[in-house]
Structures are given as structure tokens and as C-alpha cells.
Structure 1
Amino acid sequence: MTKSIDVELVNIQKKFGPNVVVDSFNLQIEQGECVSFLGPSGCGKTTTLNMIAGFLEPDQGDLLIKGKRMNGVPSNKRELGMVFQTYSLFPHMTIFENVAYGLKLRKVAKVEITRRVNAILELVKLPHVAERYPKQLSGGQRQRIAIARALVTEPSLLLLDEPLSNLDAKLREELRDELKRLQQEIGITTIFVTHDQEEALYLSNRIVVLDHGKVEQIGTPWDIYNRPASEFVHTFIGKSNRMQGMVEETKGDTLLLRTDAGFTLLADRRDGSFGNGEKVTIYVRPEKIGLNTEEVVMDGINQVKGTVKQTSFLGAYTECEVEVGLYSITVRIQTVQQMIQFSQGQSVYLDWKPEDIFVFTGKGQGQ
């Protein structure tokens, strides 16, 4: 069954003076979907969110919510809830009063206000704080109350503008889990703005990667991580080892590459056109590299010898920095699988599969 489209952006553009901060933004968001806008500071993600919220007007294009054109419609007429970086709770009001505030503005009956506020406090697992004041809550609790306040009016769309950025690492993780539970339980269409790739990968049905106001790629978390459309997307999402080289030979669906360090690699071609002798940038992610003390039989392809520079234990995994000619290559090994303790100065062999190598030309276009 095809879901309805809750939000649609059609050729949206926004300028501040001569600067185009959002350019030709096209997107459809289905009912119940969680979509993240992901990118570095200044990429246009918050500006786009503010246009959807009605705080800014697009200079060009159409914005539709549930099929209705929203250009020029004020924010309070758009049936949406919004959560900001800061909690924005009224310090002189109790938590119950804070959550009830939007309902009172809508002149909802007192009995119904009490029912809905109590229900939403139960949903965010904070019914016991109703009579407390914001200063009596932790940062994580205050942000959950801000989410409750956004949801209590039963909006058709939830907008989240980096709501976890002011929390410490442990609280971020806890509230991230809570957000995912709430979004799935309620089934509300959600747009989540973040510069944190892990948050986007964890929470989203789809991710929109932005850079300098342009959409670089729209896809599922799996697609964004494993099938990046550009060099920017690949380097922004996750960690990767970078090498320079050239195309020595094209062989149907594969490329034979020679790095500046002198060793050869075989890579799957995927999409893109590459010519013999063309200079390219080569990437391989740390977790895709095998690390062994002895040479593995691989016909000399995608296997290089190196020297361990240092190791770093990081709990669930261990990172090894291995010197291979011109390059220092990071290898990530799951700690539970690590049967061998690698030490500084030890000779090792690295290997990786052709499908785990990403190749990009000087224009940033990849395979």
C-alpha cells in the first residue's frame, strides 16, 4: 500500500543577500517517515527546516504539507511541533504547565488538557515530574519535556533542530534511543536536523546529505554509507583511509589501480567512467581491512605489507595505525574477534576486497 506524501519541497531556493544558502531542493517525505537533514555547519539544513516551519519564506519554489501549499502560511497554522537545541521551557511554570501551554493557547477544555498532558508525560516516562520546575530536572529530562510539549498538540509533523547537541555523550545516546522509540510508537512524520552522522544513521528511514546548500544524496542509511554518490558524502559519513593513485587498466567491471606508494589494487568499477592513466583518489574504510601476521594467498592483489605504528583500545573495537610506504592506514578490528595482540614495530599484512574500495576522480565523481 502506497503511503501518502506528508511533506513535499519543489525546487526550493533561499538567498541571504547575494548568497544562495539553499538551492534547487527537491524532496518528498512519506507519512510516518523519519528523514534527517545531515551536513556540516552552513550547509543549509537548518534554513530548510525553518522554511518548513514557517519561520522563513522560500525565495523560489513550493512547499507543501499534506498536499496543501504552505508558502505564506504562518507557522501556527501549519499543524507542526518543533524542538530546538535549547529546551525553551518557561522557568516560572511547572512541567505540567509547560506541556499544557500550547493546548491552552488553542483553548482546549481543561479536562482534555489534563488527560493529554498526563498521557504524554507517561509516553516520555516522566509522569512523576509534573509538579516540578525546569531547574529541578536534568538536561536529558528537560529535553524530553520539550519533546512532550511538541507532541501534546498532536501535530501532523515533528521538526527537530539538533535537539541532542547540548547533552553529554551518555545522555545523547539515551535520548536518541528514546526519540526512536517515540517516533516509531506514535508514527509521526519527523524531520531531524543534525551534523552528527551517527545520530542520522541510527534514527532515519532516509538521510538527505547537504553541502553548500545543495543536495548531495538522498538515500537510506545503508545506501548513504555503502553507496555514496560523491566523494563528499563518503568522507563526511564515517571514517575512511585516503590514498592517491592512477588507473592502470580498466577490465570490464573492475579497475586496476596503482597507488602513489607503488602497490596495486583491484577495485569494483560500479558507476562512473575512468580512463587509463587517470589520476584518482582511493578510499577504504578501516573496518573493511583485514589484519594478519602472515601473508594470505590472494594472488598479490589487494594485499600489502606494513608496520604497526600504534594500537588504541576503544572498548568494542581496537584501532591499529599501520605504516605502508607513504601512508598511515587505520585498521579497525572488533575486540571480541581479536585473537592476536599487535604491537608497535610488528610486521603485518593488510588485505581488502575489491567491492570495499571506493574510487573518485578529481571532480569528486565516484564509482
Structure 2
Amino acid sequence: MSQTIDVELRQVRKTFGSNIVVDEFDLQIQEGECISFLGPSGCGKTTTLNMIAGFLEPDGGEIRIKGKRMNGVPSNKRELGMVFQTYSLFPHMTVAENVAYGLKLRKVPKAEVKQRVAKALELVKLPQVADRYPKQLSGGQRQRIAIARALVIEPSLLLLDEPLSNLDAKLREELREEIKRLHMETGVTTIFVTHDQEEALYLSDRIVVLSNGKVEQIGTPLEIYNRPATEFVHTFIGKSNKLPAVVEVQDGETLQLRADAGFKLQATAKGQKLTAGSAAHAYIRPEKLRLAVPGTNPLGANSAQGRVRQLSFLGAFAECDVEIGSATVTVRIQTIGEHAGLKPGDPVALIWHPEDVFVFPGEER
């Protein structure tokens, strides 16, 4: 059975003067999906959200919601719920009045308003604050009320623009769990804008990675993290060690490289076509590196001899910086077990698998 397409962007484009902010954006969002727009500041993610919401008009292309063309349709005619990073609650209204605001604009009967407001507050687990004013709430509570206000109108589409960015780390974690729970319970199609990769990985069915107004990749969190389409995606999502290198030979999907740091390594090409003698950037994530006793050199794996430079304790794990040749790479290790006694200056071997190395073309020298 085919999925219903709730939102469709066709070659959407937006410019401000000579600056192209969104360039030829194509996307289909299925009914009930949670999609994240992820990228650094200025990449076009909020501009795209504002075009979907009707706050900005695209300069080219088409936006469709529920099969209907939205170009030129005002935001109040799109039946959308919107949550901003600044909460945007009315300070002179109680929580219940804030949540009811959209329903009153739609002239919903009073009895139904009361019932739906109570249901929305139950949904965000804050029925006890109905009679309070926004200034009497914590930041996390205010953001949950903003979400309740967006959901109470029973929107066809929920838009969230950096809703967690004003909260501290612990509250952000709690609120993202709430947003995921609410999405599972309501099933409303959701677009979530964020620059925080962890939020996007946690919340999304699919992620749209943006850079300089262009789509770099669209995929599930697993695809984005484990099969990045571009060097930008790989470096923006997660942490990685970069090793400038030169390609010695490519034999089908097998690459032999010589790192500038002074050691050789193997990698799988993953579709890349590189020529012998060309510059390359090899990447390996900290969790894919393994520490071993000095001199270890297992068959079929990459290995290099090094020395511990620094250890950083991060709770459940630690990051160990290891010097190999002229490079320093970071290894993620458990804080208990065989490596618990490591200290700066200790000799170690590093081991990693060729399939865990990502290689992209480098700058010609």
C-alpha cells in the first residue's frame, strides 16, 4: 500500500538580494513522519521551514501540503502548528488561555475548547499548571505549553524551529524525549529544525542535511551516520579523525593509502573513484578504533604503533588521544576494564578495520 505524501517541495528556491539561501530543494515527507532539517547556522533550514509555514514566499518552485499547492496561501490558512525557540507565550494570559488561543480564533465552541485544552495539557503532562501564568513556569514547562498550544488545534503538520536551543543540557534531553513520545502518541507529521546532530539522530525518521542552501543528503539516522554521501555530512555528523593521505592504488573497492603522518592504511572505496597519486582525506571515527598491546598487527586490519598523549574522562567513556607518527587521533574507550590504568606516555597499538575508513578526495598538492 502506497504512503500518503503530506508535504512536498519541488525545486524550492529562496534568495535575499544576490544571496541564494535555499537552492533547488526537493523533498517528499510521508504522513506521520518526523523529519529533521539539520545544518549549521545560515544553511537555509529555518528559511525553508518559514516557507512551508507561509511566513516567507519562495522565489521559485512549489510547496504542496496534503496535495494542495501552498504558494501564496497565508499561514493562517495552512492548518499548521508552530513551535518557536522563544516559546512566544502571551504573558498576560494563563496557561489554559494560551493553549486555547488558536481554538478561539477558529471559533470553536467553549465547551469543546475546555475539553481540548484539558486533553492537550494532559498530553504534555502539565494539567496542574492550567491557571498559572508563563512567568511562573520553568523554561522546560513553557516549551511544553508551547507544544500543547500547537497540538491543540489538531494540525495536519507540526513545525518546530530550534525548540530546545534555549534550554540547559538536562532540560534539552528531557524535552527531546517528550517530543519523541508526543510524536509517537499523536502521529502528526513533524518537521524539526535543529543544528544539534544528537537531537536530529534521536528524533528523526529521516534527516535532511543542509549546507549553504543545498541538500547534502537525505536519509535515515543510520544512513546519515554510517553511509555519509559527502565529506561535509561525515564531518558534521558525529566526531571523526581526519588523516590527510595520498592514494597509492585502487583495486576495485580496495584502496591503499599512505597517510601524511607516516604510516600506510587500507580502506574500502564505498563507490569513490580515486587515482593513484591523488590527494585524499581518510576519516575514522573514535569508536571504530581499538587499543591493543604494542606490537599488535592482526591480519586483515589496519594497525599503527603510537603513544598515549592525553586522557579525557567523560563519564561512561573516556577519550584517549594517541600520537601515531606526526598525527594525533582520538580513541573512545571504556573507563573500566583493560584500559582503565592507561596514562600519558604509555605505548599502545591502534587497530581498525578497512571498512570503517571513509575516504574523500583531498586538495591537490
**TM-score tier after normalising by the smaller chain length:** over 0.9
Counterpart residue number, 2:177? 177
Counterpart residue number, 1:211? 211
Note the 1:215-364 alignment, pairs <5 A.
Answer: 215-299=215-299, 301-336=301-336, 338-362=338-362
1:125 and 2:125 aligned: yes
Q: Quick check: 127-136 or 291-300, which moved more? A: 291-300
CA RMSD across the alignment: 1.3
Deviation at 1:325, TM superposition (A): 1.4
SS of residue paired to 1:146: helix
Separation in 1, partners of 2:178, 2:209? 24
Counterpart residue number, 2:38? 38
SS of residue paired to 2:113: helix
Separation in 2, partners of 1:275, 1:300? 23
Separation in 2, partners of 1:263, 1:9? 47
SS of residue paired to 1:177: helix
Separation in 2, partners of 1:60, 1:322? 50
Q: Are the equivalent residues in 2 in contact too, given 1:264–1:301 (CA < 8 A)?
A: no
Separation in 2, partners of 1:337, 1:116? 54
Counterpart residue number, 2:115? 115
Deviation at 1:341, TM superposition (A): 1.8
Q: C-alpha offsets along residues 179-209 of structure 1, whole Å, 9 cap, x if unaligned?
A: 0000011000000000000000000000000
Counterpart residue number, 1:7? 7
Aligned partner letter, 2:140: G
Deviation at 1:252, TM superposition (A): 2.2
Deviation at 1:336, TM superposition (A): 4.9
Aligned partner letter, 1:136: Q
Aligned partner letter, 1:334: Q
Q: Report the identity percentage.
A: 68
Counterpart residue number, 1:70? 70
Separation in 2, partners of 1:363, 1:32? 43
Counterpart residue number, 1:201? 201
Separation in 1, partners of 2:64, 2:312? 49
Separation in 2, partners of 1:278, 1:301? 23
Q: Are the equivalent residues in 2 in contact too, given 1:240–1:286 (CA < 8 A)?
A: yes
Deviation at 1:300, TM superposition (A): 8.1
SS of residue paired to 1:22: strand
Separation in 1, partners of 2:337, 2:179? 32
Q: 1:223 to 1:337 in 2, by over 3 A?
A: farther
Q: Quick check: 146-155 or 327-336, which moved more? A: 327-336
SS of residue paired to 1:29: strand
Q: Are the equivalent residues in 1 in contact too, given 2:333–2:339 (CA < 8 A)?
A: no
Deviation at 1:253, TM superposition (A): 1.8
Where structure 1 has 5 or more consecutive residues not aligned to the other structure, the ranges are none
Q: 1:300 to 1:7 in 2, by over 3 A?
A: closer
Deviation at 1:272, TM superposition (A): 1.6
1:98 and 2:98 aligned: yes
Separation in 1, partners of 2:252, 2:181? 46
Separation in 1, partners of 2:219, 2:338? 33
SS of residue paired to 1:245: strand
Q: 1:200 to 1:352 in 2, by over 3 A?
A: same
Separation in 1, partners of 2:253, 2:18? 44
